[in-house]
Structure 1
Amino acid sequence: MEDSSCGHSLKEQCVGHPGKEMDHSLHPGKEIDSMETQTTDMGLQQETCDVNFPQPDNASTSRVQERGKMGRHVVENTGEKPYMCGECGYRSVQKSDLSRHMRTHTGEKPYKCDQCDYSAAQKSTLDQHVRKHSGENPYMCGECGYRAGKKSHLFRHMRTHTGEKPYKCDQCDYSAAQKCDLDKHIAKHSGEKPYMCGECGYRTVERSTLSRHMRIHSGEKPYKCDQCDYSATEKSSLVKHIRKHTGEKPYMCGECGFRTAMKCNLSVHIRSHTGEKPYKCDQCEYSAAHKSTLDQHLEKHTGQKPFMCGECGYRAAQWQHLYRHMRTHTGEKPYKCEQCDYSAAQKGHLDRHLMKHTGEKPFMCDECGYRTARKSTLIRHMRSHSGEKPHKCDQCDFSAAQKHHLINHQTRHSSE
């Protein structure tokens, strides 16, 4: 009797509705199905009756979080960008990226340095700033001794030695050592410039470029030198400045050992070995290794010289040339040698002077091993191998490898 009563109780009371009897005689063989349905639909029953079912455990919560990550992953792979900036139309995959982007318009900088007045729009930017206080640069390059505050910066630096360019463009043969360089290149294909300045309408491919641009309007110079009063609008300018204090020259030429404080100078120097001349004149066949050299050449085509000296009437095609010229009137010589009393009106003159102290001759001829302290001297020397005579007389067929030979020749015409 006791067994029968127990069995009847299980069959005739609904688990979801205690006390409610069910006549299972009308549905023979369905008892087990009913129990399974109740168990399977537990979540649904919890919404429709007063029974308190167990809440999801940590494993269930983790599965929900994983589904969220999967959703973001799908968005990233489909290219969908659901979050849009109402100011400039910028779109992003994640809401957090849009929130950070909005700071370029609002100027908000929530991350504060607890050692000075510096503040940043992004935490990663603040982290980099804090290292200036600690002087921490734990990562070192085994090739040249360059030190970095972040491991990722060291990885990027190593590519200057290996020549590795892992970032490939899928639309052409371009490849880059850094992802940001590839992003800039890809923007040339699409023409997209999502970041816009609210002051003047300037548009750019990169958020960081817009942030730097905004300092033109604000006059902000957040990068301070801790050894003097110098400040800069861009971090790269401060890094270059600090090397004047430390004397650090992290970039080295693998061909001749030439070292420099700036990566762009190394790239230009390497062309003295390769002979590469990437800057082409669109009006003739002239090409140059330096952009500044091409700019000077283009002046020959236009003849335009808009900058004039008020003292003597000297005219220049570039304001930098006029600025240097003015020192001939003022006698200013801002470039000082730290090893003697020498000073110069132009930085190039000081650089050549310093080589007298060091004995450094970074420019080498690949043909015969001749070395010199000046690039212009190497260029003239190379003509002894090539036979090139670029200096032409406009009155006869005479040509010369060096300009002063042409000047000497032209005096013969003037004396005739």
Structure 2
Amino acid sequence: MTLARHMRTHTGEKPYKCDQCDYSAAQKYDLENHRIIHTGDKPYMCSVCGFMTAHKSNLAKHMRTHTGEKPYKCDHCDYAAALKSALNQHQAKHTGDKRFLCNECGFRTTRKSHLTRHMMTHTGDKPYKCDQCDYSAALKSHLDQHLTKHTGEKPIMCDKCGYRTAYQSDFSRHMRTHTGENPYKCDQCDYSAVQKRQLDKHLAKHTDEKP
């Protein structure tokens, strides 16, 4: 980095302007990365499952889902994650940090993305439409997952046993069968479960409910 470029980090000068929106950047590289939002270009592709992304760093992160590499370690327990965002989410379970608040109903969460999704329940906005049925979604990621029902595609694969799924949430649950992680704890006894529905079923034994 030249001295001139370095100094912009202190002065706040952003000479590189996007010609399609109000975004500006201190470095040309950042502007080029930003423009991908407008072009939709995704030049980096996973050779294992076909996942495509606009950024090389995202592809490197994605590849960990195939290799099983988990460089991010929790300093409270034995948990390890392939992505830093996943570790942050996990560590919030230890700290109870739920700083993102919904002003409509008081819902709190540890992640801004979860609050964004939650807010859709108030606005009802579902701009992403399926071109094969009447389904619509608030988030593009939800539409992408829905489309796999039409195509039958299951791009996410477990490298330990070959299990395949279209859903990241299913994959996360499946991986717990290998790691032995039981994140859902009963507050009345020592029972813990891999999935929330298993804990709900167990809790019925304490309350004598018969769903």
TM-score (norm 1): 0.42
Instruction: Name the CA shift for 1:328/1:300 in 2 (closer, same or farther; >3 Å).
Output: same
The residue number in structure 2 matching 1:373 is 166
- In structure 1, which of residues 251, 270, 274 is the aligned counterpart of residue 63 of structure 2? 270
The residue number in structure 2 matching 1:196 is 7
Encode CA deviations 1:280-310: one digit per residue, 9 max, x unaligned: 2233332222222222222223323333222
Matches within 5 A, 1:3-402: 101=4, 195-197=6-8, 203=10, 214-215=13-14, 222-224=17-19, 230=21, 232-233=23-24, 234-243=31-40, 249-254=42-47, 256-262=48-54, 263-337=56-130, 341-384=134-177, 386=178, 388-390=180-182, 391-402=184-195
Q: 1:363: Cα distance to partner?
A: 0.9
SS in 2 for 1:196: helix
Q: 1:409: Cα distance to partner?
A: 0.6
TM-score (norm 2): 0.76
Q: Report the count of equivalent residues.
A: 201
Cα distance between partner residues in 2 of 1:272 and 1:397: 31
SS in 2 for 1:332: coil
Instruction: Name the CA shift for 1:288/1:382 in 2 (closer, same or farther; >3 Å).
Output: closer
Structure 2: segments with no counterpart, 5+ residues: 25-30
Read off the aligned partner of 2:35 and give its amino acid letter. Answer: L
Instruction: Name the CA shift for 1:196/1:301 in 2 (closer, same or farther; >3 Å).
Output: farther
Encode CA deviations 1:316-374: one digit per residue, 9 max, x unaligned: 33444333322211111233445555321223212212323443211113344332111
* Maintained 8 Å contact 1:389/1:402: no
Cα distance between partner residues in 2 of 1:400 and 1:242: 44
Structure 1: segments with no counterpart, 5+ residues: 1-89, 91-96, 105-194, 204-209
Instruction: Name the CA shift for 1:338/1:268 in 2 (closer, same or farther; >3 Å).
Output: farther
* Maintained 8 Å contact 1:231/1:238: no
Cα distance between partner residues in 2 of 1:288 and 1:325: 25
Matched-pair identity in %: 52
Return structure 1 stretches of 4+ with deviation > 6 angstroms. Answer: none
Cα distance between partner residues in 1 of 2:74 and 2:45: 30
Instruction: Identify the structure with bigger relative contact order (alpha carbons < 8 Å, sequence gap 6+).
Output: 2
* Maintained 8 Å contact 2:72/2:87: yes
* Maintained 8 Å contact 1:232/1:238: no
* Maintained 8 Å contact 2:98/2:110: yes
Encode CA deviations 1:102-126: one digit per residue, 9 max, x unaligned: xx6xxxxxxxxxxxxxxxxxxxxxx
- What's the C-alpha RMSD, in Å, of the aligned pairs? 3.1
Read off the aligned partner of 2:13 and give its amino acid letter. Answer: M
Q: 1:381: Cα distance to partner?
A: 2.8
Cα distance between partner residues in 2 of 1:312 and 1:349: 23
